[in-house]
Amino acid sequence: MRRQERVSVLGVEAVRPYSLLRVERAGLDPGVPGQFFMLEAPGRLLPRPMSLCLAPPRELAFLVDPVGPGTRALCALERGDRIAVFGPLGNGFQLDVERPLLVGGGIGLAPLPYLSEALGGPPALLGFRSSGHAEAAALLPQAEVVVDPVVVTDVLPADGWDLLACGPEPMLEALVRLQPTAQVAWEAPMACGFGACYGCAVEIGGEWRRLCVDGPVLTCLGARPWDQASLDEEQAA
């Protein structure tokens, strides 16, 4: 059940090159892995969407990549600061899979530790753009890690796995080309997070859909956020 709470920051730890922001859980439900929360970013008008990374008892933890003013403000929070947190929001991963393989790219690692815990620690494959970024793989100790120019699709095992993935668009598109049933956590800029503003509208199968309510996790057989016709042509070729 989603709700908004003002919660205390318990700490911000470096998980290089990212930051792990830990807040008290208070009355918030951690939700299903892949769901997200809107976090108040001090000094910014709009909250920022963040996937839940870990849910230790009485805490919620978010892995934040400081890419702009909002995420930098979140990384600059200090123990005892208070922020508004709203969620859980959107659709998470479907967990009734037989042979899960988690795939992450860069900050797409964020929802995977909580997902891994929910699935009993399945195999995982992570790709990063540098060995410095790859230090964050410590959050998912069982993962096989590749660094550019090797990419996750270069080392993806043969068919027979249920892929659950989060990462940059080109990585997700490549995974879905290889396995159309993959579950992928998609991203779009979001303002409200609960369907009211249409700021996150993306074209899925020829229709405009709000990613915050129809995603962020999409199962691609029924909903592809890129051109359906070109995918079908490639698969037929």
Alpha-carbon dihedral sign for residues 69, 48, 199, 36: positive
For residue 171, the minimal CB distance to ligand FAD (Å) is 13
91 scored as a contact of ligand FAD (CB under 6 A): no
Tell me which of ligand FES, ligand FAD, none is bound by residue 51, counting a contact when its beta carbon lies within the kind-specific cut-off of 5 to 8 angstroms. ligand FAD
**The two three-digit tokens of residue 216, written as one number:** 């962020």
Q: In what order do the strands lie in the sheet with 124-128?
A: 144-147, 124-128, 100-105, 162-166, 183-185, 217-219
Q: Which of 54, 58, 45 is nearest to 84 (CA)?
A: 45
User: Of these, 14, 150, 178, 196, which contacts ligand FES (CB under 6 A)?
Assistant: 196
Choose the contact partner of 196 out of ligand FAD, ligand FES, none; CB within 5 to 8 A by kind: ligand FES
CB of 236 to ligand FAD, least distance (A): 30
CB 38 within 8 A of CB 89: yes
- Site residues for ligand FAD, 181-220, by CB under 6 A, read 187-190, 216
Residue whose structure tokens are 């299903």: 32
Question: Of the candidates 1, 45, 67, 229, which one interacts with ligand FAD according to CB under 6 A?
Answer: 67
User: Which residues contact ligand FES by CB under 6 A?
Assistant: 190-193, 195-200, 210, 212
